[in-house]
Amino acid sequence: MTDSRFSHLFAPLQVGPVEVRNRIVSSGHDTVMAVDGVPSDQMLAYQDARARGGVGLIVVQVAGVHPSARYTSHVLMADDDSCIPAFTRLAETVHAHGARIFQQLFHDGRELMESEDGTLPVALAPSAVPNERFHVMPRAMPTEQVREMVRCYADAADRIRRSGYDGVEVVASHGYLPAQFLNPRTNLRDDEYGGSLENRVRFLRETLVGVREAVGPDLAVGLRISVGEESGEGLTRDESVEAVALLRDLVDYVSVVAGTSATLSGSDHIVPPMTRANGYTAALARRVKDVVDVPVMVAGRINQPQDAELILARGDADATVMTRALICDPDMPAKADDGRLDEIRACIGCNQACIGHFHAGYPISCIQRPETGRELEFGTRIPVRASRHVVVVGGGPGGLKAAAVAAERGHRVTLVEAERRLGGQVLLAQEVPGRAEFGGAITNLAGEAERAGVKILLGAPADAALLEELAPDAVVVATGALPRVPDLELMDDPTVLTAWDVLRGADLPRGRAVVADWRCDWIGLGTSIALAQRGHRVTLGVTGYHAGQRIQQYVRDDMIAEAVRLGVVIVPLVRIVGADGDSAYFQHVLTDEPVIVDDVASLVLAQGHHPVDGLLRGLEARTDLEVHGVGDCLAPRTVEEAVLEGLRVGSAL
């Protein structure tokens, strides 16, 4: 029986001719799991997990309708009949679990990210207006080519129909080709496809008419659109709503998002980081509901079923897009339906392994749930043949994951943590301004371990006596790392602290604080923001080309924007070499020339970490004990690697 708290979320939804079993949607998102333009076995396993977990509707990632729509090297393509067998397999996989499946139909226009061979193809657009983010100057499409593209959308839709899908979704969101036609600042045409609103809508209208005719009466036809591209040259909210009003009779639903791919600031809304409020786009969906009579779906940081239910109960939308929530926990719908809310692994909006992997060209995953994207390898817990006693040393993310997986498989597991709290460095990460949600990673991982039956000992440093008492058959060492403090030339007793000190609340002298950042991740940038918010003048020196170079773009953009607003001075391409009572001394990483920052009251080091590996090295010397290391004690990296290694070790024990 459905939990009464979610009466709206688990009510069926009629979308044109298609009934969807609940209001939870996995929207189109590139998984980087396409091979030769069609779904791979990896993609089938990925979507199988979400369909089995109870999602109502899966909208499959964009499929190009024309050869020029290959905006990445790993995009799905629906421009040729050869795609039909693989698309059919995916549809059958999703249908086997009672979920519905729609397919996004797509052309990027000028939003060209990469190419197949490293050379730049000709990007197509309504007009020759450049793209700021990818620095692409497109070719204005001749009128006959515009008409050809309309036919390509219809042909692709017909292939989807023949593949056994339940619907198609025309992507006019995020500044892609249909949106470029709608936008009077990117559509400068003087033929029937440009000028007035009616003319600028013509391409999308003809596309929807052609798609509708191609799929017939049994498939749903939807439209995805950004209600405000949140960028100076982008579609405004009013323009988007006006366009939807003119097209409402041609669609069975509208899927509402925000932002555009064309600019850095606009693209941050594509996968908004944790600094954005949960469900912040709901008001945009409400504007669309006021002008249409079909279901409206909304996406925008809806990570928990409670938030989704509230949006639906208010009438802001008819369905909630919860894509990252399903990446983080594909069983979230089933758990919510059963009232097992404490078991839901909540997405924390870090963007590291989902959109971060996509931007780097790797199959997507989740730092909290590395099984995502690796379903073929880790989709099923294999029970152990003989239960053993496993001791895990360290209660950070890697240790917790190793303990949980080993216990789920049937081992007797004891986790020992020297501190009085679980969490390791995550306890510091959550202290960075705007990143409090990051602490949820430990809440989720600790919950996994506790439900699996792991015995947890806090305030218990793992020394030889404790290990002798516990008498383990195997030990997993996850003792983490400590701040690295390099050898510096110091004179006149300067105030020198680490980023850890700052995040733990250490007081600094009044005046300018200089943060020296070696890794160019969130630590140096976040520490600078924290100091600026406390009233310090801050200079951030980074060894890379820019601050936050190693973190996902949307997260970095938000953090750099906040640093700029707070007046943080960012100096790129410098390494710290020394300090005295009122100066910090850097060296340019390309020229070795000195770079001096004067009027300095304190120096804060964000210089990476040293592994705490003494226990690991000592145990590895023993021949009578199975020993594994995970996470930073092997080599300092991030939460993602620690949790993945915990999964691998827990699965191998």
Q: Which residues are catalytic?
A: 176
User: 165 phi and psi, to 5 degrees?
Assistant: -75, 165
Pick from 107, 238, 114: nearest CA to 174: 107
The string of DSSP codes covering 232-277 is: TTSPPHHHHHHHHHHHGGG-SEEEEE--BSSSHHHHTTTS--TTSP
Biggest CA-to-CA distance, the chain: 83
Burial 28-37 (b: 16+ CB within 10 A, else e): bbbbbbbeeb
The string of DSSP codes covering 485-543 is: ----EE-S---EEEHHHHHTT----SSEEEEEESS-SHHHHHHHHHHHHTT--EEEEES
Number of CB atoms found within 10 A of residue 612's CB: 17
User: Could you give the strand order of the β-sheet that contains 538-542, starting from the edge strand earlier in sequence?
Assistant: 496-498, 600-606, 512-517, 538-542, 569-571
CA of 323: how far to CAs of 8, 21, 256, 329, 597, in Å? 18, 17, 14, 10, 45
Q: In whole angstroms, what is the distance from residue 361 CA to residue 74 CA?
A: 8
The partner residues of 57 in beta bridges, in order of sequence, read: 25, 100
Residue 200: half-sphere exposure toward Cβ, Cα within 13 Å: 22
567 neighbors 534 (Cβ within 8 angstroms): no
DSSP 368: S
Pick from 298, 334, 303: nearest CA to 316: 298
Number of CB atoms found within 10 A of residue 196's CB: 10
Q: Helix, strand or coil for residue 385?
A: coil
